[in-house]
Amino acid sequence: MPAQTHFDRLHVILVSARNPLNIGAAARAMSNFGFRSLRVVNPFEPSFREARSAVGASEILEKAEFFTSVADAVADCTLVVGTTAVRNRELQHPVHRPEYSARVIRKKLSSSPVALLFGSEKFGLSNDDLSHCHWLIRIPTCDENISMNLGQAVAVCLYEIMRDAKFERGPKPAELAASVEVERVTALLLEALHTSGFLTRRRVTDAEERIRRLVRRLNLPARDAVIWLGILRQMLWKMNAGKNSGPDLEPPAIEASGGRQKRTEAVARTRRRESPK
């Protein structure tokens, strides 16, 4: 994702916006995606005053800059990109999808200011407004309703600029269990399989090796290895409880040190068994 300092170089410019709900939605979309510079050209003043109460966007609206012309609003920008629904008008500019434009804009933001223009809800950007643009963005929509709400259009464009597939943040990979922990799980699983009679009914000469490979293919995270050790100990305790006379046995306790599972009494009793040929 681009740095926050780069975000500050993007100026969202609303030209002749009139609906306070749309203005507030546009400002909130900016806040959602980390963009703070809002410029307005000839807004309908009563609507803009009303929009300043928009939830989560009041600070952006309070700091918005006012201009009387598009030329003044984009004067310090080295790249100016407009938005359009196209309709039936004849355009003199290249028209690109948001994802293509976003890649170019992200690159440009690393060194210089960029302007992103949005027209009024009713008429969009005029030909005079478009004459200040280097190219245009069109968000793909269905033919039955090609024009998007102003706030939605701002949100889609800013999302594409913010999103960078090369640096998408995902969950931190879990720490895998150490070999000693995996071997403890394997030993307990083998003991459970012997106790339950599973390996007796399915006579395989290399059963232990197969089970060991199976457990390692699971790539157990360290936190999951602890859980599996507890599950297998409880299963063994339940299976062995019926074979012992006298008072009921207590289930084995789970000991941990530094996030690593220690060998317990149940594991210590586990012995390597050879399967019958």
* pLDDT score, position 187: 93
Residue partners of 129: CB distance under 8 A and separation at least 6? 15, 70, 82, 117, 119
pLDDT score, position 67: 94
pLDDT digits (tens, 9 = 90+) for 89-134: 566 778 899 998 999 999 999 889 999 999 987 788 888 999 999 9
Give pTM, 2 decimals: 0.61
Is pLDDT at 165 greater than 60 in this prediction?
A: no
Show the 3-state SS of 216-277.
HHCCCEHHHHHHHHHHHHHHHHHHHHCCCCCCCCCCCCCCEECCEECCCHHHHHCCCCCCCC
What pLDDT is attached to residue 89?
A: 57
pLDDT, tens only, 243-269 = 665 445 555 554 444 444 444 343 444
3-state secondary structure of 124: strand
Helix (H) or strand (E) holding 137: strand 135-137
Amino acid at 4: Q
pLDDT digits (tens, 9 = 90+) for 50-87: 776 566 678 898 899 999 999 999 999 999 999 987 66
- Sign of the Cα torsion 39, 43, 48, 49 reads positive
Average pLDDT of the chain, as a whole number: 81
In terms of Cα–Cα distance, which of 46, 44, 54 is closest to 120?
44
Report d(CA 194, CA 236) in Å as an integer. 10
Least-confidence region, from 175-189, 194-208, 210-224: 194-208
